[in-house]
A and B are shown apart, each in its own frame.
Chain A
């Protein structure tokens, strides 16, 4: 008598597990490398219902408002394949980003599946730092910004222009296409100042990018 309940429970659990094989995903983790100019990307997460019963996808939940996920339909018969299309809009993001989509089905025995999209948004030119600033009353010395092209891509800096003549900027070429230095020096630091310094490049050729360096006297 004492053994009946556990044996029954185990048998039920095994039975439930076998009849709920459910969706099997081909590549739930996908990794990509893109540039900011790509603006967005789509990833296809394909799956197959390997179970003996139909599976209905009840919910797709993205980790970020920048990522949407959609399905052609919700219910998949045994043996049927489908895909979740995840679209990630970059906005002004850079660097490594991980976006996930949680998939819940009507299969109560199955844990939610996490689809994992990892994208390295790789800017061909790095600007360090993107801000130079002085406190009011500080010595009005020059501050420098390093512009460095990645090893895979040559980026030529054609010019730099400051929006404020009291915070002028000067461009020096350390190694053409690879390394530049922008020097910013305020006329004085007696009052609050603000400038955006536009860095005009030759990349990409069809639509050259302009980067911004921020300068402030606070």
Chain B
């Protein structure tokens, strides 16, 4: 009789343990941060740098005018030729540039960062992982 109770208890424990293990593994996987691509930084790092960061908004003018990170400069490839002059006037060589776009793979931000490095030969340029969505907390 006691042996049967222990067997049933053991069975119940195993039944409870399995979903718990699966759930734990799922949540660990869920919380795991996506790895950074070359030249990317996380929002937490940029925040640590504080005022030493100059934000660069690589989104469209419409989105920039709707809302943007405070003091961010607009520089995108749609209007590069007309935007790069005002960007350079405002650029502070002592600040680190962090470029952002909408989110996802942030191809537009990577392209702008690459062009700042390659065409203008300005170093210390990073891309914000997750872009505007990361800043906006979405």
List, in ascending order, chain A residues with CB within 8 A of B25's CB. none
> Would you give the 0/1 interface string for A130-145, flagging 1 where the beta carbon is closer than 8 Å to chain B?
1101010000000000
Q: Flag whether B88 is at the interface (Cβ < 8 A).
A: yes
Closest residue of B by beta carbon distance from A36? B81
Q: What are the nearest 9 A-B pairs in CB distance?
A: A91-B78, A92-B80, A129-B121, A131-B120, A130-B119, A93-B77, A92-B81, A214-B88, A218-B93
A212 within 8 A of B: yes
Known pairs A130-B119, A131-B121, A218-B93; A66 contacts B88 (CB<8 A): no
The verdict on B53 contacting chain A, using a C-beta distance below 8 Å, is: no
Alpha-carbon distance A194/B80, docked complex (angstroms) = 18
- For the complex, is A196 an interface residue (Cβ under 8 Å from B)? yes
The listed residue (B91, B92, B108, B121) touching A64 by CB distance below 8 A is B108
Is B120 a contact partner of A129 (Cβ separation < 8 A)?
A: yes
Q: How far is the CB of B120 from chain A (nearest CB, A)?
A: 4
**Cβ-based interface call for A34 (8 A):** no
Q: With a CB–CB cut-off of 8 A, which chain A residues contact B88?
A: 131, 133, 194, 214, 216
Q: Please judge, given known A-B contacts A92-B79, A194-B89, A214-B88, whether A130 and B108 are in contact too, CB under 8 Å.
A: no
* 8 A-B residue pairs with CB within 8 Å: A64-B108, A89-B78, A91-B76, A94-B115, A130-B120, A135-B93, A196-B85, A218-B92
Q: Are B78 and A133 in contact (CB under 8 A)?
A: no
> Is B122 touching A131 in the complex (CB atoms < 8 A)?
yes
CB pair A92 B119 closer than 8 Å: no
How many angstroms between the C-alpha atoms of A98 and B110 in the bound complex? 12
